[in-house]
């Protein structure tokens, strides 16, 4: 078997299935470029057949990314597979990832198909896909809860039809490490042509074991591809975390005996970009990318680290990109330095005019806070990209009054389809008043599920980053806003969420 572990990132597909984590095309492109800098082997760009918006995103990423394989998910039918192939047609390296459920529960209750019908559908879909693309991945959805005999029949058949990668999903996070590893080992031993395909693992984190299960699938089962997401993003409890798998394999090469192509110095920048784009804040004690991952509070630990880092650190912070957390620009910085930093961060502007506008915004921010961090620039450009997309609602200005013993009052000026509106309201606090002022005109009827404030960097000068999660009509969306004034950031986030509620396409449900 190969000693190279393939890293398959599905942040832009399975990660985006987190409630509220939907991203715009520009946001997906920015993350895809960062994944390419991270040297991810395969980028699952989306589910092309689920909506016109997803098709456009997959196509744009396929046309942009040169070094990584670009993949689209497709259900096991000709229409989905054709849409995936069309979206991927200009990719340097393309992969179609097709799936159908194989567990008794899913076949009976969801598909309402017999095992023989599922077997035939799986064969036909891989055969059809193989005529359109040379790299085909097949996943038996809910594979871990499937009957072994039937699963062996299906997988042997799809390999014979030309599937080059076989993925075994633990779709509902039911597996435990030893059993999952043995399950994949059994499949590989029992299927006569198993050596004709690369075996892959895709684990969900419902019981907190996605990374452990994935690594067991690699070590015990012989899998050579891991499907994962940045920060473990994903529906329910999330997916296997890319950063944890990669650093486990690199740190314990003595045990796993495997190499990865990942540029680990890009892990923290990728984590921050995904967090700021989706509004899903990374918990401080998250392995590798959490703010406390390399912090030492205990006096004994601090003493040990000062004498020899490896007394308490098994990884170096700079190896995963923490050294990039430094001041890079200030108010005296010129346009060329700003443009160069945009390129280093993977932020591409469509025109010189857009760069000039972003630079003007940067100068305004630099006048308000003396230290500008990478995260500030990412947040600023996220605001710019949203504004450039001519969204329905955009903030113009905000004023608010709050003093002890008086009920706070806010006045918000914003545009709706280019028409300027002014809303005024009182509230329990300045944020509450500001959002009520917006609602006085919008009347969205949306229910707020989450309001979260996070400091982008560590001082009182920091920009506040606000995430607002709204639900309406069965849709759940996150809006993100950033500004040194937390009330302004809140208004931006609320308008961002309203824009997503207004613009989001209806999508076809994908694999879990």
Q: Considering only 87-96, 105-114, 308-317, 447-456, which range has the smallest mean pLDDT?
A: 308-317
Residue 239: DSSP 8-state? B
The predicted model scores a pTM of: 0.86
- How high is the pLDDT of residue 116? 97
CA 496 – CA 193 distance, rounded (Å):
51
Q: Is 369 left (phi over 0), alpha (psi -120 to 50) or beta?
A: beta
Residue 458 pLDDT > 70, yes or no?
A: no
Lookup result for tokens 């909506």: 51
Most confident of 22-31, 136-145, 298-307, 465-474: 136-145
* Mean predicted confidence (pLDDT) in 194-213: 98
Mean pLDDT over the full length of the chain: 90
CA 500 – CA 511 distance, rounded (Å):
23
In contact, 413 and 420? CB cutoff 8 Å: yes
Residue 164 pLDDT > 80, yes or no?
A: yes
Q: Considering only 373-387, 411-425, 430-444, 474-488, which range has the smallest mean pLDDT?
A: 373-387
CA 462 – CA 211 distance, rounded (Å):
33
Residue range 335-392, pLDDT digits in tens: 888 888 887 776 777 778 888 888 988 888 888 877 777 778 877 777 666 665 567 8
Higher per-residue confidence, 4 vs 291: 4
Residue range 97-112, pLDDT digits in tens: 999 999 999 999 999 9
Residue 133 pLDDT > 80, yes or no?
A: yes
Higher per-residue confidence, 511 vs 163: 163
* Mean predicted confidence (pLDDT) in 32-57: 96
- How high is the pLDDT of residue 324? 43
CA 134 – CA 337 distance, rounded (Å):
43
In contact, 463 and 456? CB cutoff 8 Å: yes
CA 373 – CA 355 distance, rounded (Å):
18
Whose CA is closest to 206, among 287, 144, 156?
Answer: 144
3-state secondary structure 430-458: HHHHHHHHHHHHHCCCCEEEEEEEEECCC
Torsion of CA 64, 70, 74, 78, to 10 degrees: 80
Q: Considering only 146-160, 422-436, 496-510, which range has the smallest mean pLDDT?
A: 496-510
- How high is the pLDDT of residue 39? 98
CA 211 – CA 219 distance, rounded (Å):
12
Higher per-residue confidence, 104 vs 323: 104
Locate 4 and state its tokens: 């190279």
Residue 298 pLDDT > 50, yes or no?
A: no
Higher per-residue confidence, 328 vs 141: 141
CA 431 – CA 487 distance, rounded (Å):
5
Give me the residues paired with residue 425 across strands.
410
Most confident of 30-34, 277-281, 304-308, 352-356: 30-34
Residue 303 pLDDT > 90, yes or no?
A: no
Edge-to-edge, what's the strand order for the sheet holding 409-416? 393-401, 409-416, 419-426
Residue range 231-278, pLDDT digits in tens: 999 999 999 999 999 999 999 999 999 999 999 999 999 998 999 889
Torsion of CA 29, 32, 33, 35, to 10 degrees: 160
In the chain, what are the domain boundaries?
Answer: 6-278, 294-319, 335-386, 389-503
Whose CA is closest to 168, among 147, 195, 138, 193?
Answer: 138
- How high is the pLDDT of residue 82? 98
CA 21 – CA 249 distance, rounded (Å):
28
Q: Length of the chain, please?
A: 512
Strand duo 198-203 + 225-228: pairing: parallel
Residue 1 pLDDT > 70, yes or no?
A: no
Give me the residues paired with residue 17 across strands.
none
Higher per-residue confidence, 354 vs 32: 32
Higher per-residue confidence, 118 vs 461: 118
- How high is the pLDDT of residue 240? 98
What kind and span of H or E run contains 340?
Answer: helix 335-344
- How high is the pLDDT of residue 507? 63
- How high is the pLDDT of residue 19? 83
- Confidence category of residue 127, pLDDT binned at 50, 70, 90: very high
At the topology level, CATH places domain 6-278 in: TIM Barrel (3.20.20)
- How high is the pLDDT of residue 24? 87
In contact, 2 and 224? CB cutoff 8 Å: yes
* Mean predicted confidence (pLDDT) in 1-7: 88
Edge-to-edge, what's the strand order for the sheet holding 475-483? 447-455, 464-472, 475-483
At the topology level, CATH places domain 389-503 in: Double Stranded RNA Binding Domain (3.30.160)
CA 168 – CA 140 distance, rounded (Å):
6
Residue 487 pLDDT > 60, yes or no?
A: yes
């Amino acid at each position: 078997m190969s000693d190279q572990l393939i890293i398959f990132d599905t942040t832009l597909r399975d990660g985006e299935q987190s409630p509220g984590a939907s991203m715009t095309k520009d946001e997906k492109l920015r993350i895809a470029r960062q994944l390419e800098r991270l040297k991810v082997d395969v980028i699952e760009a989306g589910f092309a057949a689920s909506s016109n918006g997803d098709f456009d995103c997959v196509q744009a990423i396929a046309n942009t990314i040169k070094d990584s394989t670009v993949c689209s998910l497709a259900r096991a039918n000709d229409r989905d597979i054709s849409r995936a192939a069309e979206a991927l047609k200009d990719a340097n390296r393309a992969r179609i990832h097709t799936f159908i459920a194989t567990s008794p529960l899913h076949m009976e209750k969801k598909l309402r198909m017999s095992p023989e019908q599922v077997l035939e559908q799986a064969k036909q879909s891989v055969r059809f896909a193989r005529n359109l693309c040379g790299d085909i991945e097949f996943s038996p959805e809910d594979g871990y809860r499937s009957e072994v005999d039937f699963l062996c029949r299906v997988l042997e058949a799809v390999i014979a039809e030309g599937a080059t990668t076989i993925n075994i999903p633990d779709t509902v996070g039911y597996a435990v490490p030893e059993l999952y590893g043995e399950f994949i080992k059994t499949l590989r031993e029992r299927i006569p042509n198993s050596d004709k395909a690369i075996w892959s693992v895709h684990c969900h984190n419902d019981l907190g074991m996605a990374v452990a299960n994935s690594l067991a699938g690699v070590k015990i089962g012989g899998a050579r591809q891991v499907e994962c997401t940045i920060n473990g993003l994903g529906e329910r409890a999330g997916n296997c975390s890319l950063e944890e798998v990669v650093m486990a394999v690199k740190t314990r090469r003595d045990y796993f005996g495997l190499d990865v192509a990942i540029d680990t110095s890009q892990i923290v920048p990728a984590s921050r970009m995904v967090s700021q784009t989706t509004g899903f804040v990374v918990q401080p004690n998250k392995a590798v990318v959490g703010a406390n991952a390399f912090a030492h509070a205990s006096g004994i630990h601090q003493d040990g680290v000062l004498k020899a880092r490896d007394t308490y650190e098994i990884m170096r912070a700079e190896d995963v990109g923490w050294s990039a957390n430094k001041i890079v620009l200030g108010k005296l910085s010129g346009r060329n330095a700003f443009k160069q930093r945009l390129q280093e961060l993977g932020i591409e502007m469509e025109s010189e005019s857009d760069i000039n506008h972003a630079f003007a915004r940067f100068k305004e921010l630099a006048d308000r806070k003396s230290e500008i961090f990478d995260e500030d620039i990412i947040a600023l450009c996220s605001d710019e990209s949203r504004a450039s997309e001519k969204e329905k609602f955009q903030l113009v200005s905000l004023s608010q009054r709050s003093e002890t013993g008086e009920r706070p009052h806010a006045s918000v000026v914003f545009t709706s389809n280019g028409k300027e509106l002014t809303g005024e309201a009182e509230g329990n606090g300045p944020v509450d008043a500001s959002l009520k002022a917006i609602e006085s005109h919008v009347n969205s009827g949306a229910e707020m599920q989450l309001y979260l404030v996070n400091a982008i960097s560590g001082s009182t000068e920091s920009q506040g980053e606000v995430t607002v999660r709204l639900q309406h009509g069965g849709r759940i969306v996150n809006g993100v806003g950033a500004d040194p004034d937390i009330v302004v950031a809140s208004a931006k986030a609320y308008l961002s969420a309203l824009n997503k509620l207004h613009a989001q396409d209806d999508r076809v449900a994908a694999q879990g």
